[in-house]
Structure 1
Amino acid sequence: MQNIREPTHAGAWYTDNSIKLNKQLQHWFDDAISDGIHNNSRSKVIIAPHAGLSFSGRTAAYAYSAANISQYKRIIILGPSHHVYLKSCALSPFDAYDTPLGTLSIDKEINDELSSTKAFKRMSKVTDEDEHSFEMHTPFIKKLANEFVKSFLLNIFTNNINRHDIKIVPILVGNISHEREVEYGKYFAKYINDPETLGSRFRYTYYRPSRNEPGGRLGKFDDVDETGDSIHESISGLDHEAWDILSEALKDPKQTHESFTKYLSETGNTICGRHAFGILLGALHHANRDYTSGSVKWTHYTQSSKALLPTDSSVSYSAGYMTM
């Protein structure tokens, strides 16, 4: 009997009604397609947010629309740890993830292969069930892999997408150092070169009046420079600066990793997937392949609210993909 993880956040973070969920996802995919985001046979990495779908679902669809999922056997999901303090990476203890749209099997072969390195811990079932960063991706993956995909999407993707048995490999990423990101990158480098493998938050405390001016920590009762950018504009500027850095990933992964680490240190931008990005950059470096024909594409950006005061809260959601 399979040991299946239930969709513990369904009904709260997103609807647990399969018909409503499928319709909602389809609407977002339609939006992305209308904006020119189509599946790309060379897409290798998907960059998508993992908040409640009412907040970040549309943005995530702008990433997954670029995935030609039928050509892959597995998707490795690097998700940040939100509920346990972890100084390493950890694997799922389950055999499969259930979703309102059907079940996704975990690739046991890859799980066991990574476990044999002794560099990966194993999550407890409670930890896996509490964590949302994997689960919020599964409806998109299952949507693209099963018969709920409508006929016009089937024409965009390849014909064998119907009931495509793609597997997932959830990897919980802890609070690891730059050096550890490079180390973990070694374990994933081989999958960068594997044609059958696809890889796939913010609290604002840093403010600068403009991109060309120095910034600093913003206290709850501090005043904002009325002649400079508003807080939400400053947030956007910081986020797009990260985009600019990560856009160089395929030109020089090692230098991009160093620049990204420096950026995070200087700005304090708490990008939720920062360590996952670090591992990806480490993997790109260790894979040691020619990426000159590849590119990094950013497809969508939004904020949960337009922060005007230091007491306001705002979360940024970004979507993109890499081709190789």
Structure 2
Amino acid sequence: MPVRKAVHAGSWYSDSGPELSRQLDYWLNQADVTHGPARAIIAPHAGYQYCGACGGHAYRQISPVVVQKIFILGPSHHVRLTGCALSAVKKYKTPLYDLNIDTAVNKELEMTGQFEWMDVDTDENEHSIEMHLPYIAKVMENYKNQFTIIPILVGSLTPDREAYYGRILSSYLADPKNLFVISSDFCHWGQRFRFTHYDRSYGSIYQSIEGLDRLGMSIIENLNPTEFTNYLKKYGNTICGRHPIGILLQAIQELLRNDNSQNVSLKFLRYAQSSQCRNMNDSSVSYASAALVIE
């Protein structure tokens, strides 16, 4: 089985292990544990110069001593999928150290008949999973031989398909030794993204973008997948990880159906924008980090 290269190292993030480690340390140290230990996080997947600091607030909520398996759900940007795909490689390289794929869990998921396999080219062309690997490696560095990862590429799913995958993955979410990483940026605003929604009641364009994002973040915190679907239909907000988020919300609902005595709380901890849009020729991407606690 081949090894997936760290394709975006040297461009989207540093390809120097020591330099990358220092950067990640800095961003993690800028954050506090305010909503943890996390059983799932939502964090961005852009170049670290834009979103590295924001992502640190999500990764700071992880308790590495308990984590043994890490599920990474990233949206597909380049390949049209109507379902979800598993990685066919053995390891993912990072500038820090290699991360091992959990082949046993992959086999379990394959047995459901609902997952396909992504080839190495598809895997390496996609950034939504890769951008989380250095952070995972850093947070787990004292336990590097004691955990595995399960990368899952998520396609364009209907709400019913999100619910189906949520039911499949809910049993894994129920296990406190498992962590879910949900990869998503938030609003992609500007003519190049074909999205220029502007509610002038907020003031400047960047304030309107933040208002729209925060409305979506509040709905996600409510843990209601139908409400989130309706929000996306109404506003068309270009949240690229909407389907991975939808799967997480559905998995949480399945968890609560099986045991409604659990206290489940999802909170957003940090919000940022790549730049502040002030006129219709500007563009920006938004980033948000959240953590899910189950008690």
With the length of structure 2 as denominator, give the TM-score of the two structures. 0.92
1:102 shift after superposition: 0.1
Give 1:290 shift.
Answer: 2.7
Distance 2:264 2:290 in 1: 13
Provide the secondary structure at the position in 2 that maps to 1:82: coil
- Give, in whole Å, the separation in 1 of the partners of 2:283 and 2:261: 38
Note if 1:14 corresponds to 2:13.
yes
Query: Cα 1:291–1:6, aligned 2, differ >3 Å: closer, same or farther?
Result: farther
> 1:86: Cα distance to partner?
1.0
CA distance in 2, matches of 1:245, 1:101: 36
- Report the secondary structure of 2:188's partner residue: coil
Hey, what does 2:237 align to over in structure 1?
269
> For 1:67-111, what per-residue CA distance to the aligned partner results, in whole angstroms no more than 9, with x for missing partners?
002201111001000111111110001111110000110111111
**Alignment check: 8 A CA contact 1:39 1:67 kept:** no
Matched position secondary structure for 2:27: helix
Match of 1:40 among 21, 30, 36: 36
Match in the other structure for 2:127: 132
Is residue 105 of structure 1 aligned with residue 100 of structure 2?
Answer: yes
1:4 aligns with 2:28: no
The CA deviation string for residues 16-65 of structure 1, in whole angstroms up to 9 with x for no partner, is 00010001111111111xxx336833x21111000011111111111000
User: In the alignment, residue 166 of structure 2 is paired with which amino acid?
Assistant: G
Could you tell me which residue of structure 1 aligns to residue 199 of structure 2? 208
Aligned residue for 1:317, secondary structure, equals strand
**Matched residue SS, 2:77:** coil
The separation in 2 between residues aligned to 1:229 and 1:303, in whole angstroms, is 16
Shift in Å at residue 165 of structure 1? 2.1
Aligned partners of 2:8 and 2:63: how far apart in 1? 27
2:248 to 280, 289, 302: 280
Rounded to whole Å, the distance in 1 between the matches of 2:261 and 2:288 is: 23
Question: Structure 1 193/132 Cα, relative in aligned 2: closer, same or farther at 3 Å?
Answer: same
Alignment of 1:209-248 (within 5 A): 209-210=200-201, 229-248=203-222
Structure 1 residue 293: Cα displacement = 2.4
Q: Per the alignment, in what secondary structure is the counterpart of residue 102 of structure 1? A: coil
Letter in 2 for 1:17: S
Q: Distance in 2 between matches of 1:87 and 1:291?
A: 34
SS at match of 1:136: helix
Equivalent runs, 1:1-324 vs 2, <5 Å: 3-32=2-31, 36-37=32-33, 40-41=36-37, 43-146=38-141, 161-200=142-181, 201=185, 202-204=187-189, 205-210=196-201, 229-249=203-223, 256-287=224-255, 288=257, 289-290=259-260, 292-324=262-294
- Is 2:35–2:291's contact at 8 Å kept on the other side of the alignment? no
RMSD: 1.4
Residue deviations 1:233-269 (CA, integer Å, cap 9, x gap): 00000000011111111xxxxxx11110010011110
Task: After the TM superposition, list the runs of 4 or more consecutive aligned residues in structure 1 that deviate by more than 4 angstroms.
Answer: none
The CA distance in 2 between the partners of 1:291 and 1:21, in whole Å, is: 42
Does structure 1 conserve the Cα–Cα contact (< 8 Å) formed by 2:137 and 2:144?
no
| Contact 1:145–1:163, Cα closer than 8 Å, also in 2 | yes
User: Residues of 1 paired with 2:206 and 2:107: CA distance?
Assistant: 44
* Aligned residue identity for 2:230: K
- In the TM superposition, residue 291 of structure 1 has moved relative to its aligned partner by 6.1
Which residue identity does 1:138 align to in structure 2?
A: L
* CA distance, structure 2, for counterparts of residue 39 and residue 296 of structure 1: 8
CA offset at residue 321 of structure 1?
0.2
Q: Unpaired runs of 5+ in structure 1?
A: 147-160, 211-227, 250-255
Q: Which has the higher contact order (CA 8 A, sep 6+)?
A: 2
* Residue identity matched to 1:40: G
Query: Does the Cα contact within 8 Å between 1:302 and 1:317 map onto a contact in 2?
Result: yes
CA distance in 2, matches of 1:257, 1:29: 30
Which letter maps to 1:311?
N
